[in-house]
Structure 1
Amino acid sequence: MGVSGISLGEMEEARPRSQTVTTTTSSYSETFSSSASLSYDRGFLTSPPGVLLLAEIIFGLLVWALIAGTEYFRFSAFGWVMFVAIFYWVLSVFFLIIYMTRAYTRIPKVPWTLVGLCFNGSAFVLYLTAAIADATSIGIERHHNHNYNSWTASSFFAFLVTVCYAASTYFSFQSWRTRS
C-alpha cells in the first residue's frame, strides 16, 4: 500500500504509457562493420601472399636470432640489421594476425591494399640495405668462428627475406592496382 491507500499496481494502471522509443547511434559503430566476431581465414596461408608472409616471419626470426647470439653491439652495422630485422618481424607478425583473423574487414575505411604496398615496399628497401650491411660486415672478425658463422648465416637469411619482401611488394602492387 502506498501513502494514500492506493497500491503501486493501481498507480501504474492510472498513469498513461508512452509508446515512444528513443535510440542513439555512435560514430564509433559506423567505423566498424556490424559483425561482432572475427573469422579465421583458412585459405590465407596457402595463398602466395600468405606463404611469403610466413616465410618472412621465419627467415626474419632467424636473421635477428643469429645476430643476437653474438657480440653484434660492437659493430654499428649489425645494430642496423637488428633494428630492421626486429622491427619488420614484429610488424609481419602483426599483419599475419590481421590477415588470419580477417580483422582488416572490420575497419573498411583503412586502404589496406595501399598499407600493404607501403609496408612491403619499405621492408624490401630497408631489408636490402640491412642485408648488404650484414654481408659487408661479416669479415670484420673472421678469427672468431662463432660470430663469423652466425653472421654469415644471418646474411644469407637477410637476403632470403629481402627476396620474400620483393615478391610481397609485387603481389601488393598487383592488388593495389586492381582495387584502385
Structure 2
Amino acid sequence: MDEERPRSNTVTTTSSSYSEAFSSSTSLSYDRSFLKSVPGVLLLAEIIFGLLVWALIAGSEYFRFSAFGWVMFVTVFYWVLTVFLFIIYFTRAHTRIPKVPWTLVCLCFNGSACVVYLIASIVDAASINKDRQRHHNYNSWAASTFFAFLVTICYGVSTYFSFQSWRTRS
C-alpha cells in the first residue's frame, strides 16, 4: 500500500522578502530637518506648552474641582498623543507605514485637538477663582490658562498646515 521512503537529513532554508523587509525596517533614522520645519516646531511647542499646562494644574489641588479634572484629562491625553506623533515623524516611521493616510490623520488629530483644547481652555479660565486667600493655587491656574490658550493656537496653526498638506495631496 504505502511504501516507506527513506528520510533525508538535509534541511533546506529559504529567505523570504518579508524577512528582508522586516530586517531593513528595524533601523529607524532621525530626521533632523523635521525639527526645523514648521510642523516640527509646532509639535515641539505643543509638547512643551501642553506639559506646562498639565504640570501647573497637577501641582495644585485640582482634584477639589471637577472642571480642572476635565482640563487635566484633555491636556494629558493630547500631550501623550502629540508625543507619539512627534516620535513617528521625527523617526520617519510614517514612511514605513504607507497605507496610513498620514495627512488626513494629522488633519483630524490637529482639528480635534484644537476644538477640545479650546473648550478645555475656556473651562480652565472660567474655573479660576479670584479669591486669593481661599485658593493659593490662583497663580498656577492662571498660568495654566495662558499656556492652554497658547497650545490651542499652536493646534489651530497645525490644523491649517495639515489642511494645506492634505489638500495638495488629495
TM-score of the pair, normalised by structure 1: 0.81
The root-mean-square deviation of aligned C-alpha atoms, in Å, is: 2.4
Q: Which residue of 2 aligns with 1:6?
A: none
Structure 1 segments of 4 or more deviating over 4 A? 20-26, 32-36
Match of 2:148 in 1: 158
1:176 to 137, 162, 166: 166
> Aligned pair in 2 of structure 1 residues 29, 132: CA closer, same or farther (>3 Å)?
farther
Residue of structure 1 equivalent to 2:3? none
Deviations 1:6-30 (A, max 9, x none): xxxxxxxxx9x9xx9866565x988
In the TM superposition, residue 86 of structure 1 has moved relative to its aligned partner by: 0.3
1:126 alignment counterpart: 116
Change (3 A) 1:174 1:137: same
* 1:51-130 to 2 correspondences below 5 Å: 51-130=41-120
The change in CA–CA distance for 1:36 and 1:160 in structure 2 (over 3 A counts) is same
User: Quick one: distance in 2 between partners of 1:29 and 1:178?
Assistant: 33
* 1:47 pairs with 2:32: no
Percent identity reads 75
Deviation of the 1:154 alpha carbon: 0.3
Structure 2 residue 126 is the aligned partner of structure 1 residue 136: yes
Give aligned pairs, total: 161
Do the aligned partners of 1:64 and 1:86 also contact (CA within 8 Å) in 2?
Answer: yes
Conservation of the 8 A alpha-carbon contact between 2:129 and 2:135? no
Partner of 1:7: none
Deviation at 1:143, TM superposition (A): 2.5
Note the alpha carbon deviations across 1:27-55, whole angstroms, 9 max, x for none.
x988x796442111011111111111100
Q: After the TM superposition, which of the residue ranges 72-81 and 142-151 deviates more from structure 2?
A: 142-151
Closer/same/farther in 2, CA of residues 163 and 24 from structure 1, 3 Å limit: same
Correspondences of 1:14-29 after superposition (within 5 Å): 24=16
Q: Over alpha carbons, which structure has the higher Rg? A: 1
Letter in 1 for 2:52: L
Determine if contact 1:138/1:152 at 8 Å carries over to the other structure. Answer: yes
Unmatched runs of 5 consecutive residues or more in structure 2:
1-7
Structure 1 unpaired stretches of 5+: 1-14
Decide whether the 8 Å contact of 1:55 with 1:164 is kept in 2: yes
Deviation at 1:130, TM superposition (A): 0.2
Tell whether the 8 Å contact from 2:43 to 2:82 is kept in structure 1 after alignment.
Answer: yes
